[in-house]
Chains A and B, each alone.
Chain A
Amino acid sequence: MNLGQIAFYVLGATAIASGIGVIAFRNAVYSALSLILNLFCLALFFLMLNAIFLAAIQVLVYAGAIMVLFLFVVTMLTPEGGDAATVDRLGAMQRTAAIGLGIILAGAFGYILISQVRLSPSAMATGANDLFTVMNRDGNTEAFGLALFHGYLLPFEVTSVILVAAILGAVVLGRRTTSGSGLSAGSGLSAGSGPSAGSGPSAREE
């Protein structure tokens, strides 16, 4: 058994254990932390496969950004945590942070646009185009980008459509809870009360 195999088994065991942890912990924060561990293991798997860029992105996006959001929501929703004043102070801090980060992001995009970063001309070079040739010639990130926006453009775009569908679905299910309670508190003539009145007798039927 060589070093790579040992690393694989150790990582695999950790990934599975942390995956179980996500659903087994009763405390939501522990679950979120196990998820971070799980995503980190995946990043290491990518690293073992020489996909350096993918590993970095996995850590940045999933273990970093998305998990911070998760933890933030978990902390916000925990009933005993935080009174209104904390939330207000958080909100002010958040605004400041959002403005600062927004300026940085706009600056970064502006720099990219102005400096006209382009693909290296070798990207379209002919000749052998298997994975390792391209990686050695253009580098890991370039190879990833080239594959993503040439051969695998359609799956990439379809993924974004799936995200649109998921967002729309989340909005439908999320907004309904608030509008539903608003309706029952509001005028009794709303059409929403129709089916729930009709369901009374049918529920007895069952």
Chain B
Amino acid sequence: MAFTYTITAGDWGHIAPQLTLLGVALLVMVIDTMLPARLRGGLVIIALLGVLSAAASALLVAQLGGAPSAFFGMITSDGLAIFSMLVILGATALALLIAPGYIERQGIHQQGEYYALVLLAATGMLLMSTASNLMMIFLGLELLSLPLYVLCAFVPGQQIAQESGMKYFLLSSFASGFLLYGMALVYGATGATGLTQIHAFVASHMPLDSSLAPLLLVGVVLIVVGLAFKVSAIPFHAWTPDVYQGAPTPVTALMSVGTKTAALVALARILVVALGPITSQWQPLLIALAILTMLGGNLLAATQTNVKRMLAYSSIAHAGYLLIGIAVGTNLGLAAMIFYLAAYGIMNIGAFGVVQVIERSVGFGTELDRFRGLGARQPWLAGAMTVFLLALAGIPGTVGFVAKYAVFSAAVLASHPELTIVGVIASMISFYYYLRIIWAMYFELNPEGDPATQGARAALGAQGTPPLMVESSGQSAVIAAKSVSMRQPIALGAMLSLGLAVLATIILGILPGPLFELARQAVGLP
């Protein structure tokens, strides 16, 4: 078959979303060289249109139906693929919207390259989440990782950005090595790289005999390690805070949602779909990962004082909740997981969207102090942040609550109540640090003379107000001057992105039914 498989137009039709996105990435790259510098800001519009048309073609592929796989079983366009593609494209669109203002403030000149790399990374995420062959999963992972290494180090002349890019590159290459080794062992055990063939082989060789079991199980463990690194599950999380902090915040937002979605969907395909017959073998590993990640992520997040870092640890914690969906090993778990991914994408990109408004130079100026009194200075911004934080904490009425409820109930229905219990405890820990930001925004002012406000004063100095004048004026004048000068401008795109995210967080929190129904259909549940 491999030698006579004939590629038809239908095969290319199957990957229309990926092709669209790739085409737009190349288009952006080429147009960038022809535009004069002052017009390059318009590239974001082309990129956004590309993402929207990719989403439209994904819907079209879903409408047309047809054969579930294409290119000799390399890629699939089943419900799970369509749903995760839409989550990734939505996240990319939101992350692109908050980018222009940030790029301008950080003095990034290479706008064309920035958007092209973001689109290439998104193409890799789409390929990885639709891959139905170990080879394609690996190639998708590489295509999403390579642009992200560069994007992490994108802000020029900043040590923290270089550290971020370098750390991500080295550790991620190491993890890719594990993943590839695992895939080679699984191929050695089953003689196939296609997930369908692996499933057929494993199902026909149950129970595993001693000649097959070691090779296959070691391979599975290595694959889990490699992908757990990408979703930053504990104990493979150590890179996350440093990389997230030094990367440009729109990239952090995309990375935290897009990479997680792609890697988790690939992991779900390998474990739940292909290796479903040996669920009892890999389940303890996943349960341990989920429990460690939920507890550890939240405990570590509670000790942070830099909000960007804290959100990095919070994204680790959410990886734990997401892993429950795979660990229970049922289709309902998968439905809950992809619903959680959609919800997480909206609220987490929203939260990072607020952080990038507050952030000064990359990785700095996002300390908790900078959020003090934000409720008085910029009530709308503080309100949006409150909505996102409450949603991340899982307060009823927001989409975060529905997502957690879905995951926890899937765990109970699959008779794994221990996951639910740990999840609830972990969520209670998370209330502490999410609510602490809200408390700082509304109920704390910047008290003069507090050593913690030196950062704010340094900001005043940097923004041109002579420090001497501040020292000599009266207390109220100081606060007034400070509140004026510390009001951060919000770019139009960021405003749009934050507005959309707030609306989605609340509307989906009150009316989650239709989206959850879609998630159920995506994994083939009635």
State which residues 157-206 of A face B: CB under 8 Å: 158-159, 161-162, 164-166, 168-169, 171-173, 175-176, 179-180, 190-206
Asked if residues A129 and B113 are in contact (CB atoms below 8 Å), the reply is: no
Q: What is the bound-complex CA distance between A126 and B110, given in angstroms?
A: 53
Q: Are B74 and A202 in contact (CB under 8 A)?
A: no
Question: Taking the complex as formed, is B469 at the interface, i.e. its CB lies under 8 A from any CB of chain A?
Answer: no
> Complex Cα distance A168/B459, Å?
35
Q: Tell me the minimal C-beta distance from B513 to chain A in angstroms.
A: 37
CA–CA, A159 to B120, complex, Å? 13
CB of B139 within 8 A of CB of A124, answer no
A180 and B455 within 8 A (CB):
no
Do residues B146 and A147 form an inter-chain contact, with CB atoms below 8 A? no
1/0 per residue B98-121: CB within 8 Å of A? 000000111101100100110011
**Stretch from A25-33, A75-83, A97-105, A148-156 contacting the other chain:** A148-156
Are B364 and A205 touching (Cβ within 8 A)?
A: yes
Chain B residue with the shortest CB-CB distance to A144: B3
A41 is an interface residue with CB less than 8 A from chain B: no
At the interface, is chain A mostly helix, strand, loop or mixed? helix
Asked whether B462 lies within 8 Å of A172 as measured between CB atoms, the reply is: no
A205 touches B2 (CB 8 A): no
A142 nearest in chain B by CB position = B3
CB–CB A147/B3 < 8 A: yes
Known contacts A172-B150, A201-B462; A158/B116 CB under 8 A? no
Q: Is B93 an interface residue (CB 8 A)?
A: no
Q: How far is the CB of B457 from the nearest CB of chain A, in Å?
A: 9
Size bracket of the B interface: 35 or more
CB distance from A189 to the nearest CB of B (A): 12
Complex CA–CA separation, A158 to B15 (angstroms): 12
A154 to B113, CA, bound (A): 25
A150 near B109 (CB under 8 angstroms)? Answer: no
Contact call B107/A162, Cβ cutoff below 8 A: no
Contacts of B135 in A (CB 8 A): 152, 155
Q: CA–CA, A179 to B113, complex, Å?
A: 14
Say if the beta carbon of A15 comes within 8 Å of chain B.
no
Interface size on A, residues (CB 8 A): 47
Q: Does A52 contact B (CB under 8 A)?
A: no
- Give, as a whole number of angstroms, the nearest-CB distance from B451 to chain A: 11
Q: For A192, list chain B residues within 8 Å (CB).
A: 107, 109, 156-157
Residue of A nearest to B72 (CB): A151
A168 engages B113 (CB within 8 Å) = yes
Q: Which residues of A contact B3 (CB under 8 A)?
A: 123, 129, 134, 143, 146-147, 150-151
Q: List the B residue with the shortest CB-CB distance to A184.
A: B157
With the chains together, A161 CA to B116 CA distance in Å? Answer: 12
On whether the beta carbons of A165 and B74 are closer than 8 Å, the reply is: no
Known: A134-B3, A150-B3. A165 touches B117 (CB 8 A): yes
B6 at the interface (CB under 8 A from A): yes
Contacts of B71 in A (CB 8 A): 153-154
> Contact flags (1/0) for A9-33 with B, using CB distance below 8 Å?
0000000000000000000000000
Q: Does B278 contact A (CB under 8 A)?
A: no
Query: Are B462 and A158 within 8 A (Cβ)?
Result: no
With beta carbons under 8 angstroms apart, the residue of B143, B146, B364 that contacts A206 is B364
Q: Note all chain A residues with C-beta closer than 8 A to B149.
A: 169
Q: B146, A195: Cβ atoms under 8 Å?
A: no
In the complex, chain B residues whose CB is within 8 Å of the CB of A193? 107
Interface Cβ pair total, 8 Å cutoff: 145
**Nearest-Cβ distance from residue A178 to partner chain B, whole angstroms:** 11
Is A195's CB under 8 angstroms from B139's CB?
no
Known A-B contacts A169-B150, A180-B157; the reply to A198 vs B7 at CB < 8 A is: no
Q: A129-B2, A154-B71, A195-B106 are in contact. Are A166 and B364 (CB under 8 A)?
A: no
Does B367 contact A198, Cβ atoms closer than 8 Å? no
List residues of chain A with CB within 8 A of the CB of B4.
124, 126, 129, 146, 150
Q: A40 vs B120: C-alpha distance in the bound complex, in angstroms?
A: 33
Within 8 Å by CB of A180, from B75, B156, B365, B459, lies B156
Instruction: Tell me if B473 counts as interface (CB < 8 A to partner A).
Output: no
Query: In the bound complex, what is the Cα–Cα distance between A32 and B71 (angstroms)?
Result: 38
Scoring B residues 431 to 470 as 1 if CB is less than 8 Å from chain A, else 0, what string do you get?
Answer: 0000000000000000000000011001101100000000
A198 to chain B minimum Cβ distance, whole angstroms, is 5
Asked if A150 and B2 sit within 8 Å, CB to CB, the answer is yes
**CA of A123 to CA of B364 in the docked complex: distance in angstroms?**
61
Minimum Cβ distance to chain A for residue B2 (Å): 3
**B2, A197: Cβ atoms under 8 Å?**
no
A199–B160 Cα distance when bound, in Å, is 11
Who on chain A is nearest to B364 by CB?
A202
Which of A126, A168, A199 is in CB contact (< 8 Å) with B364? A199
B163 at interface, CB cutoff 8 A: no
> Are B157 and A195 touching (Cβ within 8 A)?
yes
Contact of A198 among B22, B110, B120, B462 (CB under 8 A): B462
Using CB atoms and an 8 Å cutoff, list the residues of chain B in contact with chain A. Answer: 1-7, 15, 22, 26, 29, 71-72, 74-75, 104-107, 109-110, 113, 116-117, 120-121, 123-124, 127, 133, 135-136, 139-140, 142-143, 146-147, 149-150, 153-158, 360-362, 364-365, 367, 454-455, 458-459, 461-462
Given contacts A154-B75, A175-B110, list 15 more A-B pairs with CB under 8 A: A126-B4, A146-B3, A150-B72, A151-B2, A152-B74, A154-B136, A155-B74, A161-B120, A169-B150, A172-B113, A191-B104, A194-B107, A195-B361, A198-B360, A201-B461
A-B contacts, 5 listed (Cβ < 8 Å)? A129-B4, A155-B135, A158-B140, A168-B116, A204-B458
Closest 4 CB pairs of A and B: A151-B2, A201-B458, A202-B364, A169-B150
